[in-house]
Amino acid sequence: MNNPIYKWEYIVIQETIFPLNPLRITVESEDKELAETLQGKSILETLNYLGEQGWELVTVTTGLEKNTQIFYFKRPIAYLS
């Protein structure tokens, strides 16, 4: 039996914490509507929203600046037989 093969799409979300503004989220995505939807949400709201949309959190890394975290998500877009 063959294992299923998927094509994936990805988004990257960067969370930056500023002393005067406790949380600011910037979104990198080709989906501009998604980016606009997520702007200004807390990271918890963002994670819950993306989970509802079928996105899976793959990993979290520290950004180049010590006050940033980068979240990588993926979801299947097609099944290849």
Main-chain dihedrals φ then ψ at residue 51, nearest 5 degrees? -60, -40
The whole-number average pLDDT for the span 62-78 is 86
Residue 21 pLDDT: 62
User: Are 13 and 71 spatial neighbours (Cβ–Cβ below 8 Å)?
Assistant: yes
Give Rg (Cα) of the chain.
15
| Residue 8: band (very low, low, confident or very high) from pLDDT cuts 50, 70, 90 | very high
CA 27 to chain centre: 7
Domain annotation for the chain: domains and CATH numbers: 5-80 (3.30.1410)
Residue 19 pLDDT: 60
User: Structure pTM?
Assistant: 0.76
Residue 59 pLDDT: 96
Residues 15-67 have pLDDT tens digits of: 876 666 656 667 767 778 888 888 878 888 889 999 999 999 999 998 887 77
Residue 74 pLDDT: 95
